[in-house]
Structure 1
Amino acid sequence: MIGKQKHVRLPAVSFLLISLTLAALFTSTPQGPALAQSAGNPIHIRIAAEESPYANVLLDMSPVQFPVKPYVENGTTMVPLRALGEAVGAKIGWDEANRAATYSKGGLTLIITIGKPTITASDGRPISMPEPATLLDGNTMVPVRLFTELLGYQVSWDEHTRTVHILSPKEHVRLWGFYALGSISYSSWQDVFGAKYPLSADDCPAQQMDGVFLGWFAIGKHGKVTSEHNSTGFQKPDGWPSVILEARWHGMKVFSMYFADEQSDISSLLDDPTALHSLARDIAATSAEYDGVLIDFEGLGLDEATADRDRQNLNEFLTALRSLLEDKPLSVALPPLDSPFTGYDHEYIGNVADFVVLMAYNYQERNNPSPVAPFEQVDKAIRQEIEIMGPEKVILGVPAYGALYTIAEDGQASIRALPPSKDGLTGLPEYPNAPGLDADPQARNAFPVFVPEYLCNYVEWEGEDASYKAYLEDTLSLKTRVLMAKRYGLKGVAVWRLGFLPDNW
C-alpha cells in the first residue's frame, strides 16, 4: 500500500545532472563524474550512493548482476570476474590446480593467477594489475577498469555516488519495429520514414533498420486469417502497398505478423487438427508477398489444465507451417520463461524457428506503481532465454510506452495511462483526462530522472486530490535497452511499437 506523499526524498540517493547528447553518452570519452560532456540537454540520473568500501557498477547506464558486492581496495574497484565476463561477452575458465582463471574475448586471452600482481596475455607479455586478483566467497575478484579497458571499454568514476560508469565500444545492433495499430496521432509511417505519409525524409530511421513486423493480420474465432477491419485492430492500413515498397527501397525486410489471443480462441483452434493445418495453409498463402513470417499467438498456457496440450499443439502448428514456408524465415513472439503463460515450448520453438522475439515488457502492475520493463526482469528474461537457445536467435522486444499511476488519498494506486514515449506526460491524445506535467500546476517543479534499475525515467508529483507516479520511456531508455541486447550478443531489438517514438529517435 502506497500512502500519499509530498516531495518524496529517498535516502542515500544522488541526483546527477549530466549535460550530454545521446551520441556522446555512448561513444565519447567519459570526463569527471559525468559519463560524458557536451552541449546537449541535461539528463537527470538517480543513483543510490554506496557506502565505503562498496561501489556501484553501471554498464551502458544499466546495472550489472554480481554475486558479491564490488568493493574499492586502495583506490581500485574490484569485481567478480565471471559476472563481469558475462556482461562484456568474455568467456571465463578456471584452472583449479594452478588457481588461475582465463578471460577471453576476440583475439585476447588473459591468464589471472590468484595473488599475483601481474596477468599474462596470450602473446606472453605480462600486464601489471593495480591490485592482485583475490578470492571472495569463491569469486575471483579483479580490477574492473583494467579488465574492461583492455577490451576497448571506457571507464569513469563518480566519487559522489561511488559509481563506476562503463561505456562499451560502438557496435551496430540490428533494429526492427512493429508496424501496427497506427493512427493519425501515432503514425508508424512517420516513425520509420521520417515524414508524413506518403513522403519520406532523406535521412530517416529506415536507413538504419533491418526490418519491420507488419501487424496487419489477425486470426478470427473460426480460424480464418483476416487483414480487414476487426476488433483486434491488427489490419492493413490505407495505402499499405506503399509501406512495403518504401521499406524495400530502403533495404528493409518486411515480415507479415499474425496475431491471435483469447478473442481468437486460439487454444481451442490449435486443439483441432483440421483447423490447425487449415490455419497453417492460410498463413503460408497470405505471406507469399512478404520476406518472412512472425507468429504472435498470445495467452497460451495461462490455464494450467491446458498448458501441456497448448505446448504440443503449438509445436505441431509451427512444424506444419515451417514445412509450408519452405525457405522463408519463420519467427515467433514469445513471453519470458517466467511469465504465467506456460503454453510455449521455448526449446522446440528455438529449433523450428529462425529466431524469436522475446517480449520482455508489460511488467507493470495494475494497482502497484511499477515500470513497464525494469532491469531485473528484463535481465532475467534474457538470461533464461539464451540458456535455452543461442543469443543469435533472440531479438529483444522493447517498449516505446510507459506507465502513469494515480495514488488516491487512501493510498490506493491504479494505473491511469500508458503514455507513448513521444508524448512523455505532455498532451496524451489517447488519454484526454490523464494529468500531465504541462497541465497540472502542482507538477511544475517535478522533473523526470533516469533510474538505471527501472531502465527508464521516473517522476512523481502531488496533485490537488491525488498524487502521481510515472515511469516514462524516451530516446535515452531506448538506447539503454538496445545496449542491453548488445551486452548479451542478441540478434537485435524490436520496438513495440512504431508510432510511439519521439522525433529523431
Structure 2
Amino acid sequence: MLHKPLGKTAVAAVLALSLLGTAPHIGQVQAAPAISVKLDDVALTFDAAPRIDKGVTYVPFRTVGEALGIQITWNSKTQTVKAIGEVKGQTTEVLLQVGSSSATVNGKKVKLAAPPVQREGRVLIPLSSFSSQFGVNVGWNQATRTVSLVSPQREMHLRAFYALQSFQERDLVASMNSVAFGWSRIDREGQFTLQGDEYRLPAAAGDVTPQSIVAEAADREIKPYLMVYALDGNGELTKVLSDSSLRQKSIEGITTAVADNGFGGVVLDFEGLGFKLDAAKQQKLLNDYVKQLKAALPSDIALSLAVPPLNSAYKGYDYKTLASLADDLIIMAYQYNPVGTKSQVPEPNSLVDQAIQQALQAGVPKQKLLLGISLSSETATSVDDKLGLAKRYDLKGAAFWRLGLFRSYNNGMEAAVNASVIKE
C-alpha cells in the first residue's frame, strides 16, 4: 500500500464516538466529493461522514478507535473522551475535550492543530492530531480523497503450516508460536497414514529427522501440531465419519502418531463437507468425531480445526459446536478467486472481512479464531491487509499456508508480515 504520507503517524485521533448533549459544531464544511477512510486497505464505514473544515481533515472517533483496539470512554458531563491503547507494549492514555485546543497525553499537555468538535451527536477529531500517540501511519490521496491508515505492529498468536516443501525455510519456525506439520492424512480408503503420497513423514537427512524437527520446535516453546488432512471429494471422509470401526481406527492412529513423534497438538483439516451431501447430517458427524478424538487425546494435547469460511460452498461445519470442543479454529478464508487464477492474485478483502464477521456471529469467540492466510494468493503489499483484519477484530491470531511460501515469490513477504505482526 503506497500512499502520500500525511505525517509520521496518526492516532486514536481518527476514531468515531457516539455522544449525547451539545457542543461546538464544525463551521462551513467543504462539499462533496466525500472523503473515504481505509484502515489497512479495507474501507471503514462511519455513521457520521469525515469532512474538511478550513483545511483541516476531521474524522469520526469510535469506529477507527475500536478497529485499532483502543479503549474509549466518554464523559458527557465534562465533554471529554478518554482513549487508552498500547504502542510497543507501552500504555498510552489520551484525554480530549470537545472545543479544547490542547490534549493530555500520559499526564502532559499537548497542543492540537485544531480542537475536537461535535456534529450530529458524534465527536470528530483533526486527523493530524496526536500524530505519534498510537503509532498509526497515515496517508492522503488527493485524487481519490482517501485517507489511508496503516495499523501499528501488534503481538498475536502466529501459526504456520510446515509441509514437505518447507525444509529450506525451517529457520522461520522461530518466528511462530506454533507450527502444524502436514505429514499425515486419512486416505481415500479411509485409513489414517503417515506414508501417503502428498502427506507423509519426510525422510531423514543425516541427523535431521522428523522427530528432531518436532523436538526442536517444542524445546523453543513453539507448540508442534500434527496436521491430519482428509477430503470428502467422493464421500470418502463421510464414510470414515459414519463408520464406527473406521472412526475408531483413525483416532487410534492419530493418538499413536502424536505420542510416538512428540507432537503437542492436532490440527484436523477435514475438507469438502456439506458440498454434495446433507450439510446438517455432516455437521453432526464431524461434531461427534471431534468429541471422540478430544476424549481420546491426553489432556495436555491441544486440538485445532481448519475449517472453510461460512461464505464458501461448504456448509458441513457447525462453527459454534466445533469452537466449544476445540482450542481454536482456523478459518481458511481463501480460494475465493476462480479456479485457475494465477498465484499472487490477492483474495478479495471484502470476502475475507465477511468470513470473519460470519464466524464471530456464528458464536466463535474471537480469542479462539485464527485467520488462515494462503501466501500463494497474497503479495508483499496485500498480506498486511489480511493481517490488518485479524487485528481489527482482535482475533487470536493468524495461520499461514504455508511456511515454504514465505520466500518463494519474493523476499518482501517476510518483511511485510514482520512489519504488521509479531508473535505474542
TM range, smaller chain:
0.7 to 0.9
Structure-1 separation of matches of 2:169 and 2:374 = 14
The reply on whether 1:285 has 2:256 as its aligned counterpart is yes
Instruction: Give the length in aligned residue pairs.
Output: 372
User: Any residues of structure 2 matched to 1:183-222 within 5 Å, and which?
Assistant: 187-193=165-171, 205-222=172-189
2:114–2:126 CA contact under 8 A, matched in 1: yes
2:9–2:136 CA contact under 8 A, matched in 1: no
Counterparts in 2 of 1:147 and 1:337: CA distance versus 1, 3 Å = farther
Counterparts in 2 of 1:119 and 1:333: CA distance versus 1, 3 Å = farther
* Aligned twin of 1:381: 355
Counterparts in 2 of 1:101 and 1:368: CA distance versus 1, 3 Å = farther
The alpha carbon displacement at 1:17 in A equals 8.3
Give me the TM-score of the superposition, normalised by structure 1. Answer: 0.63
Amino acid in the other structure paired with 1:234: Y
* Aligned twin of 1:254: 224
3-state secondary structure, aligned to 2:160: strand
* Aligned twin of 1:346: 319
* Aligned twin of 2:46: 67
3-state secondary structure, aligned to 1:475: coil
The alpha carbon displacement at 1:133 in A equals 3.6
Give me the TM-score of the superposition, normalised by structure 2. Answer: 0.74
Counterparts in 2 of 1:132 and 1:475: CA distance versus 1, 3 Å = closer
1:110–1:119 CA contact under 8 A, matched in 2: no
The alpha carbon displacement at 1:296 in A equals 0.7
1:214–1:255 CA contact under 8 A, matched in 2: yes
3-state secondary structure, aligned to 2:304: strand
Identity value in percent: 29
The alpha carbon displacement at 1:147 in A equals 6.9
3-state secondary structure, aligned to 2:403: coil
Amino acid in the other structure paired with 1:85: G
The alpha carbon displacement at 1:243 in A equals 3.0
Structure-1 separation of matches of 2:100 and 2:367 = 37
Q: Deviations over 1:344-390 (max 9, x none)?
A: 11111112111111111111023899944221111222233234233
User: Any residues of structure 2 matched to 1:371-450 within 5 Å, and which?
Assistant: 371-387=345-361, 388-402=363-377
3-state secondary structure, aligned to 2:323: helix
2:71–2:85 CA contact under 8 A, matched in 1: yes
Q: Deviations over 1:54-113 (max 9, x none)?
A: 334333x42232135533233333334332123101345678999987655466677778
Question: Which of 219-228 and 342-351 deviates more?
Answer: 219-228
Structure-2 separation of matches of 1:56 and 1:332 = 37
Amino acid in the other structure paired with 2:266: V
Counterparts in 2 of 1:177 and 1:111: CA distance versus 1, 3 Å = same
* Aligned twin of 1:35: none
**Equivalent in 90, 108, 123 of residue 70 of structure 2:** 90
The alpha carbon displacement at 1:392 in A equals 2.2
3-state secondary structure, aligned to 2:182: strand
Structure-2 separation of matches of 1:497 and 1:343 = 24
Question: Any stretches of 5+ residues in structure 2 without a counterpart?
Answer: 11-30, 205-209, 415-424
User: Any residues of structure 2 matched to 1:3-152 within 5 Å, and which?
Assistant: 29=8, 52-59=32-39, 61-68=40-47, 69-91=49-71, 103-105=83-85, 116-117=99-100, 130-136=114-120, 141-146=124-129, 149-152=132-135
Amino acid in the other structure paired with 1:188: S
Counterparts in 2 of 1:103 and 1:348: CA distance versus 1, 3 Å = farther
3-state secondary structure, aligned to 2:62: helix
Q: Deviations over 1:220-252 (max 9, x none)?
A: 24432111134xx12222223343244345543
Structure-2 separation of matches of 1:125 and 1:52 = 38
3-state secondary structure, aligned to 2:382: helix
Counterparts in 2 of 1:130 and 1:384: CA distance versus 1, 3 Å = farther
Q: Deviations over 1:171-228 (max 9, x none)?
A: 3343322112x4xxxx3111223xxxxxxxxxxx232222321111111244321111
* Aligned twin of 2:147: 164
Structure-1 separation of matches of 2:393 and 2:247 = 35
**Equivalent in 235, 251, 254 of residue 200 of structure 2:** 235
Counterparts in 2 of 1:259 and 1:162: CA distance versus 1, 3 Å = same
The alpha carbon displacement at 1:284 in A equals 2.0
Counterparts in 2 of 1:245 and 1:108: CA distance versus 1, 3 Å = closer
Amino acid in the other structure paired with 2:306: A
* Aligned twin of 2:300: 327
3-state secondary structure, aligned to 1:79: strand
Q: Deviations over 1:239-268 (max 9, x none)?
A: 233432443455432100011112462123
1:398–1:481 CA contact under 8 A, matched in 2: yes
* Aligned twin of 1:314: 286
Counterparts in 2 of 1:94 and 1:320: CA distance versus 1, 3 Å = farther
Structure-2 separation of matches of 1:78 and 1:390 = 34
Amino acid in the other structure paired with 1:307: A
Structure-2 separation of matches of 1:54 and 1:252 = 48
2:349–2:386 CA contact under 8 A, matched in 1: no
Counterparts in 2 of 1:151 and 1:339: CA distance versus 1, 3 Å = same
* Aligned twin of 1:461: none
RMSD of aligned C-alpha atoms?
3.7
3-state secondary structure, aligned to 1:330: strand
Amino acid in the other structure paired with 1:300: L
Structure-1 separation of matches of 2:215 and 2:156 = 24
Question: Which of 214-223 and 95-104 deviates more?
Answer: 95-104
1:215–1:256 CA contact under 8 A, matched in 2: yes
2:168–2:404 CA contact under 8 A, matched in 1: yes
1:30–1:156 CA contact under 8 A, matched in 2: no
* Aligned twin of 1:302: 275
* Aligned twin of 1:424: none
Structure-1 separation of matches of 2:323 and 2:77 = 38
3-state secondary structure, aligned to 2:278: helix
Structure-1 separation of matches of 2:2 and 2:154 = 27
3-state secondary structure, aligned to 1:380: helix
Question: Which of 475-484 and 339-348 deviates more?
Answer: 475-484
The alpha carbon displacement at 1:399 in A equals 1.4
3-state secondary structure, aligned to 1:212: strand
The reply on whether 1:174 has 2:157 as its aligned counterpart is yes
